[in-house]
Amino acid sequence: MANMAQAIRMALHYAEENLGVTDIFGEDVGAPLGGVFTCTQGLKTTWNSPLDERGIIGAAMGIAMGGGRPVAEIQFCDYVYNTIDLLKLAGNTCWSSNGDWNLPMVVRTPVGSGIRGSIYHSHSFDATMTHIAGWKVVMPSTPLDAYGLLISACKEQNPVMFLEPKALLRVKGEERIPGEPDDDRALSKAIDAPLGDRSQWKPAWPEGLEAFAIPIGKGKLVREGSQLTVVSYGRTLPLCARAAALLADEGISVEVIDLRSLWPYDWEMIKASVQKTGRVLFVNEDTEVTNFGEHLVRRTVEELFYSLLAPPRLLAGKFIPGIGLADTLEMASVPQQNDITDALRSLAGEQP
C-alpha cells in the first residue's frame, strides 16, 4: 500500500496530466529534492520558489487569476502565518467580485506534531484556517483519503487549503489507491527518487491511476458504535480508532467519525451519530482556546441539546506558545493515545 506522501504525489501527477494543473511550486518543491517530505518528486510542472511564503501565496493568486491552476506548497504551516492577509484576499476574491473572478488554487502545507519538530515545525493550522471564509479546508488521515481529497481540490474553482498531517506522511494505508500496483516495492522503485544523484532519474507513473475523488464536505464513518461518538481528523484520528478498539474490550461501544473536511463539514453525519449515542468527544491537536472543536461543541449544544446524555467534550492541544523538542514535552502538549482513551472512558461513564 502507498503511504500518504506517495498518494499525494500520485494525485498531483494525475492532476497535472488530466485536471489542468499548471504549476506545482514552493520551497524545494522542484528538483532535485521534490519537497522536504518527497511529495512532489518527479512531477513535470514543479519549480522552486525563493524562501518567501508571501511570495508563494501571492504568486499562486496571480497564476490563478491569469488562467492557470496552481498548487502551492508552504513547507511547514508554522510559516504560513505571515500570509494571513493574503489568504483572506484569496478567500474573498470570488465573493467580492460578485462571482466575476474565480481563484482555482490549492495550497498544501504539513501540519501538527509527531516528528519532534519543536517550536518552529510543529504548529497546527486548522483553527486559524477555519476562521478564514471563502476557502474549503481539508485534512486527510489516510493515503486513500489524501489522494481522493486532493483530486477534488484540484477540480475546485476557488481556493482549497490542503492540510497534511506530517506524522502520517510515511504511514502506509489499508486501502489501495485505484490504479496503484499491488507490489509496494514496485511502486517505490517506480516513483520514489533514488538517494544520491537524481539528475537522470525519471519516475514510471502507474498507468491505471484514476480520478478517484472524495467529495469535499463528506465525512467517513470509521467505526460504528452505540454509546458515544468521537469526531476527529488528521493525526489524532488513528489514535481515536485505536482507543475505540481498546474500549470495546471493556464493553464500551464508541462510534468513530473522520471529519476529513473542516469546511464545509459533514454536520449531518455528526448529528445522526450524536442523536444515536447521546455523547460526543471532539479531538484534535490545535490549541484548545478558540479551537475548531469548540465551534462543533457549540453547535452540538445549540441544535442537539435534548439528545444529549452528557455535556459534549473537547480534547485538544494545550494553550501554550509552541511544542518543546523533548519527547515528554511534545507528548504532554497534544493529545496522545492514553489521553483519548481516558477521555472516552470518562465520558462513557457520565449519566444524565
28 in the Ramachandran plot: left (φ > 0), alpha (ψ -120 to 50) or beta? Answer: left
Q: How far is CA 303 from CA 14, 259, 296, in A?
A: 41, 18, 10
End-to-end, the C-alpha distance of the chain in Å comes to 45
3-state helix, strand, coil in the chain (%, to 5): 40, 15, 45
Cβ atoms of 106 and 137 closer than 8 Å: no
Cβ atoms of 209 and 240 closer than 8 Å: no
Q: How far is CA 319 from CA 98, 232, 262, 276, 298, in A?
A: 39, 19, 21, 32, 19
Residues with catalytic annotation?
121
Peptide bond just before 32 cis, omega within 30 deg: yes
